[in-house]
Chain A
């Protein structure tokens, strides 16, 4: 980790990053802040601008305005020195259909500035294929691969050079549940070993399970960016489920935040004490506990325009 990235711990930093297509602001003044060691979940509906942002970080799409710094260097100006340290998977994985998976990786690995000896490259390719759960001796052409295998091959291409930063667009796309689990474990292991991961997804559950930090893009605007545990921290509210909503409401008065069917949200410090109080008043409590927002709720609360 060099210079700037080391001192402020920022791996990706953008300021006012904007991409306009005619009148459409695909990405609108986005200030990203991704730090060393993060697993950053970049959320947003399809068409919200996630992929365009990723492409700008990788120098594939040129921003209309704003700045981007990746691994402490400006992009796209410093792409020759920054990109070799990034592994990326952008949108659907690509490969030459008439060649095998290993042959595809070998061609890719032979490009760029790396001049490692062939033997080293071959063993690196085999190890990477193994890592993503593909068989390094499989000689079938990629044409014959399933969607899941293509996705794994795409991930292998991203991991080939043991990057400091992984930028992954929907990394578990097209995988079956077991595959999703495997890849998730792999990414978490890599993160443990020091790789910063920036992944885009529209799967809230995936992000909630994996990520330490979350950014939410809506119509090109970054409407949320925060540590996941802060977003999901206790809200100071207690959720109570009871059929006696009217009696409870009378008893608790202004502490009631909302009533929804048999479910009450109550402003209270301690669920146990609230429970004891309600029971002592003869209210039958079916369920009680601290109320935490789900990530979905967080995003809805942030005011995503449907």
Chain B
């Protein structure tokens, strides 16, 4: 079932449209930076953007920092929201269930597929932006990349820290995927499910900017998204990364369970 869902995802034109959008934004940023040579001042703007002018090898991280706050979660919300509701809309959900595909099994396959999409999208964005960084932006200093703490990172260190960062970004999307999947079992409208998910993320972002909500901050799904930046400090600052992991796994567990409970007892009467 997982294989079938993966094939469905890969054969869907929409998947590649979304990946295209995810590549387009960092590409635009790279071109603008290369042409104008005007980076944000250090410490402002998206992470790593000021550093890439002198070191293009950091551009994959800058690219992820650009797509992570908005484009990537919206893409995940769209795919996750479509998972069950979309099958309802095309009238294919009942076909699957009478094959029979177990409801738990279907839900699991859908979740795995959304995560696979995130993996695919993140790797493609990283690969494309790496090429762009090397071609358009600054060459790395011969001594190696400078970490955010000012120390120098060896090539090898840079590679595994980047891999860690990619992994962290993928995990950051688990919560969104689970929430979207849950909404997708609640409604017949995939757009409704996606909007509900985006609404939750917007709420989370607004609350993070509100001091009165500081008690809630550690539990907000978007709170630790950009913590992957801390992986490039020397030594690595694990605190927020680990909290981010815990929050994502918490959302994943709660909303996947809710989706499962709802879907397994639901009358399929669309």
Contacts and interface: CB of A to CB of B under 8 A. Distances in A.
Given A60-B267, A94-B90, A111 B4 contact: yes
Contacts of B267: 55, 60-62
A125 B8 CA distance: 18
Contacts of B99: 83-84, 108, 111-112
Interface string A64-83: 00000000000000011001
A60 B91 contact: no
B11 A99 contact: yes
Nearest to B101: A111
B4 A97 contact: no
A301 to B, nearest CB: 32
A157 B98 CA distance: 11
B100 A94 contact: no
A93 interface: yes
Given A80-B102, A112-B100, A112-B101, A94 B265 contact: no
Nearest to A161: B99
Interface string A103-146: 00001101110000000000000000000000000000000000
A40 B3 CA distance: 38
B1 interface: yes
A111 B96 contact: yes
Interface string A45-68: 000000010010011111000000
B85 to A, nearest CB: 13
B98 A60 contact: yes
Contact of B91 (A62, A80, A88, A91): A91
Given A62-B265, A107-B7, A98 B13 contact: yes
Interface in B1-50: 1, 3-4, 7-8, 11-13
A290 B100 CA distance: 50
Contacts of B7: 107
Contacts of B11: 98-99
Contacts of B1: 111
A290 B96 CA distance: 50
Contacts of A277: none
A79 B91 contact: no
B269 interface: yes
A90 interface: yes
Given A94-B92, A96-B90, A80 B100 contact: yes
A90 B99 CA distance: 13
A84 B100 contact: yes
A157 to B, nearest CB: 6
Please classify how large the interface on chain A is, using the bins under 10, 10 to 19, 20 to 34, 35 or more: 20 to 34
B135 interface: no
A61 B269 contact: yes
Nearest to A60: B268
B238 interface: no
Contacts of A86: 98
A92 interface: yes
Contacts of A62: 265, 267
Contacts of A97: 90
B94 interface: yes
B4 A107 contact: yes
A84 B93 CA distance: 16
A214 B4 CA distance: 39
B269 A88 contact: no
A60 B90 contact: no
Interface string B231-270: 0000000000000000000000000000000000101110
B98 A93 contact: no
A79 B97 CA distance: 10
Contacts of A58: 94, 97-98
B96 A55 contact: no
Contacts of A84: 99-100
Contacts of B3: 110
A95 interface: yes
A94 B101 contact: no
B262 to A, nearest CB: 13
B98 A83 contact: yes
A121 to B, nearest CB: 12
Contacts of B97: 58-60
B100 to A, nearest CB: 4
Nearest to B92: A94
Contact of A98 (B12, B101, B265): B12
Contacts of A60: 94, 97-98, 267-269
A86 B94 CA distance: 13
Q: Which among B1, B93, B99, B268 has the highest number of chain A CB atoms within 10 Å?
A: B99
9 contacts: A59-B97, A60-B267, A60-B268, A61-B267, A86-B98, A90-B98, A110-B3, A111-B1, A112-B100
Given A94-B94, A157-B95, 15 more contacts: A55-B94, A55-B268, A55-B269, A58-B94, A58-B98, A59-B97, A60-B94, A61-B269, A80-B100, A90-B94, A92-B91, A93-B91, A95-B91, A98-B13, A111-B99
Nearest 4 Cβ contacts at the A-B interface: A94-B91, A112-B99, A83-B100, A60-B268
